[in-house]
Amino acid sequence: MAEASPGRKLQELRSRYIAGLPDRMGELRDSWNRLVHVSWNPKALEFMHQGAHKLTGSGATFQFPEISNTARILEDQLQALLAKSDATSTERQQIENSLKALEGAIEEASRASLNTEIAAFVSKADVRKRQAYRIAVIEDDESQAAHLKNWLEQQGYSAETFKDPDTYSQRTDGHVYQLILLDISFPQGALEGIGWLESMKCQSGTNTPVIMMSARSDMVARMRALRAGADIYLTKPIDMGILEKRIHQLLESAPSAKPRVLWVDDDTDLLAYYNAMLSEEGYEVEGLSQPVRVLERIGKFQPDVIVLDHDMPGCQGMELAKVLRQDANYMTIPILFVSASPKSRELLEQHSIAGNDFFQKPLDNELFLSSLHRHLTNAKLIAARINLVSQRKESRSLQNHDYFLTELVDVLARVESDQEDQIHYLIQANVDRQAYLRAQHGARAMAKLNARMEKHFAEQLAAGDSGCALGGGSFLFRITTPAADDGKTCLEHFHHTLNNAAWALENAPDPVTLSLGALTLNHTVDEDKALIEVEKACHKAMQSGSNSLVWQQAPERSPESKLDDRIKELVAEQAFKLYYQPIVNMETDHTVFEAQVRLVGDDNAVYLLGSSCLVCLKAIEAHFTSSIAG
């Protein structure tokens, strides 16, 4: 089935919005009737206010400005009543008049022809699509290279030519190419193209698709090209029709590089509208109507920008932004606010560090898209500068040592209070036979190997995990796994992942391997102790042979600590409450720095603790244990 056109999608959204208007109006009218005829309930008033607020933002968006205008008047009137215990007769009459006006606007919208065209987004994505693709032509035949470049530009692509692989590797313009057309034979060798491709794939781990071109049609050349990493092999003279199809196939199936936008708004109709708008402009959009789940969704979606509706029930956009800004991982993500209330802009200006920009509903789509693009560009520049300061050479790389240790301290501080469904591990990985390899191959070869490893390791880390390079072929990692998973299996899998690249040095008969030491993190270890213990484990692994893993458990918790946890469980299971009562000197009215602790159950039974708190707790545990057993 053919995909619906953008105009058709918007028309369907508009039709759905119209169909839902009577229900929205019915909810407002029912709430008002309860307030007037039953009781003045603050919750019902807040529900009305939220309903009017949503209509204020959505009406004009779907080309019903009168709905937005009348809803805004009603919203302001309800806002003024939120802090009052009741409404005067004049205020009630004003709200009644506003409800009637809104009913009229909704009734008129409901009579609107479903065939009325809604303004479609004028997408520039299709126009810019091929121009955004840069193709490198590596060909020593100048006439053939010029012909290919001219043909590619006629097809709408941007193309550059290079006389040989070395010229391409030594380029300094910093351009990124989405496709490479590579000849197989050069003056340096009959299979120079294949050798260079193997080296490029191994050193940089690039996923750039490659079309290999050659006059050779034998199976040996084809197999070697494909094994080296070529995606397609074409024989000369090139059939331009086939080349066009293959280029389209590779670029269309390439991994998406769309900017990711997380939009948080409790109005599902507006979420669908904004999703369609941004998707048509080339963005990947995730809509979220439950703001309390924003942290969970961010971890999975990893957005490049976040858009927050400022006025949502139970949680304001500003509050969400402040929570996000307290996490170092979200400091550079642009946060844009949208709201139907112009007063929200004043609040944003007072807390400018929380957000980057503000837009009033209904949105000016062109203005919003322009700002969105600008903030994404600025965020990339800021991230690049941060990476430079932290000694990161790639956009995705390991952390510097100091930042890693700072993060480790934070993890250790909260590890005891973390949910029991996660386990944290500190891991040290060392290159086996580091001194021997350095003596045999030199410092430069080892430096290149470490750089390749660092890039590979950064790409393997899951979201929320981190790592840093210690230098000299040594690395630190912090990973988190579900508590239900087998720890040994998880660590062995991580060990295999690090060694998966089959590291090798030139003219070395054996691959380079890594040995790992792992430590389970809990509250019994601090930063220094954790680093010492994991270093010991790594040393044991290296001593036991190459490519080894030693997992060292953290020290056991004391019996008293375990008992405290058990008591907490028992108290929680039996629905007990702890009461801490200060002891007051009745003569001086001074509080003595001791507390009498009582356990009060559901039946209001009071359990007083004796002089020995620990003995009493043990007795309570024994009592509950015997009760459960009985």
Task: Clarify whether residues 215 and 343 are in a common domain.
Answer: no
Q: Are residues 384 and 306 in the same domain?
A: yes
Domain membership of residue 380 (yes or no) is yes
- Is the same domain home to 509 and 594? no
The CA distance from 379 to 376, in Å, is 5
Comparing 307 with 236, the larger pLDDT belongs to 307
Let me know whether 268 and 369 are in one domain: yes
Whether the pLDDT of residue 620 is over 70: the answer is no
Helix boundaries (H) for 177-218: 192-204
The pTM of this model reads 0.42
| Domain's final residue, options 252, 268, 299 | 252
Kindly report which listed range (67-81, 339-353, 424-438) carries the lowest average pLDDT score: 339-353
Residue 455 confidence (pLDDT) above 80: yes
Whether 286 and 240 share a structural domain: no
- Confirm whether 85 is domain-assigned: yes
pLDDT for position 460: 80
Looking at 389, 411, 429, which one is the last position of a domain? 389
pLDDT band at 628 (very low <50, low <70, confident <90, very high): very low
* Number of domains, the chain: 5
Domain presence at residue 353? yes
Residue 110: how many CB atoms within 10 A of its CB?
13
Of 37-41, 251-255, 592-596, the poorest mean pLDDT is in 592-596
Picking from 509, 526, 552, the residue at the C-terminal end of a domain is 552
Q: Is 121 contained in some domain? A: no
Please name the residue that has the structure tokens 């060990």.
Answer: 495
Task: Name the residue range of residue 309's domain.
Answer: 260-389
Instruction: Give the model's pLDDT for residue 427.
Output: 94
Tell me which of 20-24, 205-209, 559-563 is least confident.
Answer: 559-563
Domain with residue 75: its CATH number is 1.20.120.230
Tell me the three state secondary structure of residue 142. helix
Q: How does pLDDT run across 514-572, given as a tens digit for each residue? A: 999 999 987 667 788 889 999 999 999 998 888 899 998 766 655 555 545 555 555 55
Together in a domain, 536 and 604: no
Q: With a cut of 70, say whether residue 319 has pLDDT above it.
A: yes
**How far is Cα 187 from Cα 537, in angstroms, rounded to an integer?**
52
Q: Are 53 and 27 in contact (CB under 8 A)?
A: no
Q: Does residue 503 surpass a pLDDT of 60?
A: yes
For 91-108, what is the mean pLDDT?
92
Pair (548, 414) in one structural domain = yes
Q: Are residues 568 and 520 in the same domain?
A: no
Between 81-95, 169-183, 407-421, the lowest mean confidence (pLDDT) is in 407-421
Question: What is residue 453's three-state secondary structure?
Answer: helix
Tokens of 44: 């019902």
The verdict on 539 and 570 lying in the same domain is no
**Model confidence at 301: pLDDT above 60:** yes
Asked if residue 237 has a cis previous peptide bond (ω within 30° of 0), the answer is: yes
Same domain, 538 and 575: no
Do residues 434 and 536 both lie within one domain? yes
For CA atoms 255, 258, 259, 265, the dihedral sign is negative
Are residues 72 and 198 part of one domain? no
